Every structure is written in structure tokens, then in C-alpha cells.
Amino acid sequence: MVDRNILVAKVTAIEKCLNKVKEKRSVSVEEFVIDEDNQDIVLFNLMQAIQGCVDMAAHIVSDEGYGMAGSMNDFFYLLRGRNIITDELQEKLIRAVGFRNLVAHEYAKLDLKQVYTIATHGISDLEEFIAIVIRRFA
């Protein structure tokens, strides 16, 4: 059985990160691409929020006995296999993990306009995942 306290802590941490991203995305894309401090805050908090979703998925998969994951993406495949998330959300979360990996390992190769788009439109996918988890397990 999923530990509700762990989920609440994860959701709280993810929402804190997403709120910081929302605060920093109020500038134009032109301003964003020249403001390194803003970029750092957005990138760090996006990475942390995505990692929080992975951690939450891992907790659910482990506690519910849904199977073994060989990678971060596998947690979302396992949740999809149990009809907890849709195919579409699974693919969006897998793309988010890819973005997280790019931020963590190849920072210099980031397209800052794409980062801005993710910060302004992409975080709704993480919010959708949180809402599903809360409805189902909290």
C-alpha cells in the first residue's frame, strides 16, 4: 500500500518547484534567453520537479508491487500498464525524463527557447500526473 505521507511530501516538493518556475516564466522569451540567473532557477526547478515525479512513480510501483523498473522511463510504462496514466501522459512524462537527463548531463546543449516553452506550457503534464496520483492514492 502506498504511503500517503510520502506522496504528500513529494507532491509538496514538486509543487514548490513548479511555483518557482511559474514565478520566473513571466518574462518574455527574449528576456529569458539573456538572463542566466533566471535560466538557472527555471532549469534547476524543472529538473527537481521531474525527478520528484519519477520518485513518486517509483514509490507507487514499489509499494503496489507493479513490477521491476530498469530505468526511470519504466516507472511510467508500469503505471500505464495498470491504467493509472494514459498513453499520451506516459509519452509526455518520458519526454520530461529525457529533458531532465539533458539538463543534468549536457547543460551546454540546451535550446533556451525550448526551455522557455517547457516552462510556460510543459509543466501542465507534471501537474496532470500529480492530480492523478492524488485522486488515486492520497
User: What domains can you pick out in the chain, each with its CATH number?
Assistant: 4-137 (1.20.120.580)
pLDDT range class, residue 107, cuts 50, 70, 90: low
Tracing cell 529538473 back to the chain, one arrives at 47
pLDDT band at 138 (very low <50, low <70, confident <90, very high): confident
CA 22, 20, 25, 42: dihedral to nearest 10 degrees? -130
The rounded distance, in Å, linking the Cα atoms of 78 and 29 is: 36
pLDDT at 108 over 80: no
First-to-final CA distance of the chain: 11
The pLDDT tens digits of the residues spanning 38-90 come to: 999 999 999 999 999 999 999 999 999 999 999 999 999 999 999 999 999 99
State the greatest distance between any 2 C-alpha atoms of the chain, in Å, as a whole number: 47
Average pLDDT, integer, range 124-134: 97
Predicted TM-score (pTM) above 0.85? yes
